[in-house]
Structure 1
Amino acid sequence: MLNNLVDNLSDASSIFYLIFAVLAIGGGIMMINAEKVVYMVLSIAVTFLSLAGLYIMLEAEFVAFVQVLIYAGAVTILTIFGIALTKTHKAEGDEEGEGEGDQRKPAYIGVVLAACLVLFGILFYAIQKASFPGGTFDPGKDNPLELGKLLFNVHVIPFEIMSVLLTVAFLGAVIIARREEDEQ
């Protein structure tokens, strides 16, 4: 079983895939476990960038470009601005070292690590026993040009509605946060 793993890691593309996959999963785990919101944003940015690397390996350069431009760039900066525009208040008793969640943390971490190891073992076994069909993938010529034609000719109305929807959602979140802040 481990011979397949060694054989798969013998070429550079598999090593890059492993690096990007570990960065994507690690960034997601760090985002969930981070205590400060800024660290969460940085962790999710690492995940977005590593996903862009995986897209490049799949020869989907346009999707990788959009991933970096929209998610790693715009969403991350938008989240940082959202954090900067809203004030966060600590509730009383939430000082460092206090609170009920700190007492359960070691047991919680142990259960989560055990579950992760079991899941990793099951996935590793399933992937080693699976047979994947061979074949070649033809990404086509001028893929970004065809996507651009579809996006700006056929699907231009949904594209514009989505941009307005995202802007309204962000403004609504800021207004709700400000209203809650004023009530306190």
Structure 2
Amino acid sequence: MFNFNVDFSGEFFAFFLLAICAIIGAVMAINFTKVVHIVVSLAFTFIALAGLYILLNAEFVAFVQVLLYVGAVTILMIFGIMMTKHDGEGKEPARPLLETLAAIGCLCLFGILFYAIRNADFPPASENTLPLDNTRAIGLELFSRYAVPFELISVLLTVAFIGAVALAKREEDPQ
């Protein structure tokens, strides 16, 4: 059951390092109490995930990950923190029973996933499933086959942005 045949290449070490960074960033985001520290650790996790996408030869997805999540979402969270008041931040009481049950649940989930992945029958990987330039292929599909949904989503996001600005202005007016 535990027959590990791993070739220790540079790609393996890069994957291991990026996976550890993603896990550490996620655990830090859960454990920090200051919201700014949580956002920075989430940005660290997003960057590690982008590195994992690059290892999977998904450069476009890695670029979008950095552009949208690390850039836009993290900045949006920081602006949200700056615009809200944080007067009553207090420390939660420790709950050892809850933490113990959560740790047991995590270990059980890890065991189930480990067992399922080790016993899974994956099909063999074929060599020519992805195009050589996947960013170009995504762009061609996006602007030829999916041009109308792409434009509809851009209109929807613009309307949502205008609505958010209108709601923010309405809350400012009652002075």
Structure 1 equivalent of residue 132 of structure 2: 141
Equivalent pair of 2:25/2:42 in contact (CA under 8 Å): yes
- Aligned-partner residue type, residue 151 of structure 1: L
Structure 2 equivalent of residue 13 of structure 1: 11
CA separation of 1:178/1:90 partners in 2, compared to 1, >3 Å: closer, same or farther? farther
The size of the alignment, in residue pairs, is 173
Structure 1 unaligned blocks of 5 or more: none
Equivalent pair of 1:82/1:174 in contact (CA under 8 Å): no
- Aligned-partner residue type, residue 100 of structure 2: G
- Aligned-partner residue type, residue 53 of structure 1: G
Structure 2 equivalent of residue 30 of structure 1: 28
Between 1:154-163 and 1:13-22, the stretch displaced more is 154-163
TM-score by length of 1: 0.74
Alpha-carbon offset, residue 80 of structure 1? 1.5
**Which of 133, 141, 145 is the matching residue for 1:154?**
145
Structure 1 equivalent of residue 38 of structure 2: 40
Structure 2 equivalent of residue 52 of structure 1: 50
CA separation of 1:15/1:2 partners in 2, compared to 1, >3 Å: closer, same or farther? farther
Equivalent pair of 1:87/1:181 in contact (CA under 8 Å): no
- Relative to total residues, which structure has the larger helix share, 1 or 2? 1
**Which of 78, 94, 99 is the matching residue for 1:109?**
99
SS of equivalent to 1:152: helix
Matched, 1:75 2:66: no
Matched, 1:132 2:122: yes
TM-score by length of 2: 0.77
Q: % of aligned pairs identical?
A: 50
Structure 2 unaligned blocks of 5 or more: none
CA separation of 1:58/1:95 partners in 2, compared to 1, >3 Å: closer, same or farther? closer
Equivalent pair of 1:9/1:15 in contact (CA under 8 Å): no
